[in-house]
Homo-oligomer: A and B are copies of this chain.
Amino acid sequence: MTNDQNLETAPQEVEARAVEARVEAFIGVREARRSEVAEDYVELIAELIHDNGEARPVDIATRMGVTAPTVAKTLGRLARDGLITRAKYRSVFLTEEGRALAKECRHRHEIVLRFLLSLGLDPETAERDAEGIEHHVSERTLALFADFADRS
């Protein structure tokens, strides 16, 4: 080490640390991306069950704005991942795990939406942005959003 008694950190180490922090950010975002679709589906399925008594693929397709085969394939992945159960030609049920995820997602969605509205955003834009942002807020950010919305 060339520093006097090693008291300072070399500039390239500072740089390396900054790079490393950002790599973690990118990796984290890619990770989050992998669950976005699942999160939106289970949240919607929970809502359909609550509102309509059941979650039919056709209603999922209508609300997600995708075609029926896309829904079928996605439901296959959700079942594989233990979030739903289903029988052929029947509507869909959430597993315990699916219900837990749905609840968490609805909670996050609501906080983000409430926060955006309390910032002064119009409802349509707020809904639109919340639908994307909800998948990328950490627990900490969510807590700050909730605080802010409560205080205003």
The count of identical subunits is 2
Complex interface: chain B residues within 8 A of A121 (CB): 140-141, 144
A27 lies within 8 A of chain B by Cβ: yes
- Size of A's binding interface in residues, CB under 8 A: 42
CB pair B137–A133 under 8 Å, yes or no, is: yes
CB pair A137–B129 under 8 Å, yes or no, is: yes
Which residues 10-32 of A have a CB within 8 angstroms of B?
19, 21-30, 32
CB pair B148–A119 under 8 Å, yes or no, is: yes
Most buried by B among A23, A119, A125, A132: A132
* A residues apposed to B, CB below 8 Å: 19, 21-30, 32-33, 36, 40, 62-65, 116, 119-122, 124-125, 127-133, 135-138, 140-141, 144-145, 148
